[in-house]
A = this chain, B = another copy of it.
């Protein structure tokens, strides 16, 4: 359902084709929700069937023909209704889902040298991710200017802050874990 509401949120800014949505999605929501292009097309179809979207088929000569989607009043209602009832998503946010932690859990089957190497690789990726946030930040600000509402930028800032705190925490954990294993 999050893909659906993400698409409603973007179409709320203006009509777009599946292809454009797929790009905008990647430039904005991708930090916290990843959607494949093919999945977006399927979802748009379903959403039109449910009355949340309307579409118009536009002929083109130089490029392939395209289908432009726009949000209906029903879609806007659904979007606002969704935004107003965050309970289930908060619960879900409390769940961890990480194949990497499964590896840590089973790391006793490896030798300690390998486990430490794994944790070091992890901590390096954390450091990279932290650097990457600056880039993401620019992207999000460009997007903000495009949409042209400075009030909303506050919330984008909160998302970015989440990223900073999140990666810093992962890095902190990795360092402590390495120190623990090495300090025996």
Chain A residues engaging chain B, CB cutoff 8 angstroms: 1-2, 5-6, 9, 12, 28-29, 31-34, 79-80, 83-84, 86-87, 89-110, 114-115, 118, 121-122, 125-126, 128-129, 149, 151-152, 154-156, 158-159, 161-163, 165-170, 172-173, 176-177, 180-181
CB-CB under 8 A from A86, the residues of chain B are 100, 103, 118, 121-122
Q: A9-B102, A108-B149 are in contact. List 5 more A-B contacts (CB 8 A).
A: A84-B114, A91-B125, A94-B167, A105-B156, A106-B155
Measured between alpha carbons, how far is A128 from B121 in the docked complex, in Å? Answer: 32
Q: Smallest distance from the beta carbon of A96 to chain B beta carbons, Å?
A: 5
CB-CB under 8 A from A2, the residues of chain B are 99, 102
Measured between alpha carbons, how far is A2 from B154 in the docked complex, in Å? Answer: 37
Measured between alpha carbons, how far is A176 from B86 in the docked complex, in Å? Answer: 19
**Which of B87, B90, B122 is the one whose CB lies under 8 Å from A93?**
B122
Find the B residue at minimum CB distance from A117: B86
CB-CB under 8 A from A98, the residues of chain B are 32-33, 89, 92-93
Q: Smallest distance from the beta carbon of A167 to chain B beta carbons, Å?
A: 8
CB-CB under 8 A from A96, the residues of chain B are 31-32, 162-163, 166
**Which of B102, B121, B122 is the one whose CB lies under 8 Å from A33?**
B102
CB-CB under 8 A from A173, the residues of chain B are 161-162, 165-166
**Which of B92, B101, B168 is the one whose CB lies under 8 Å from A169?**
B168
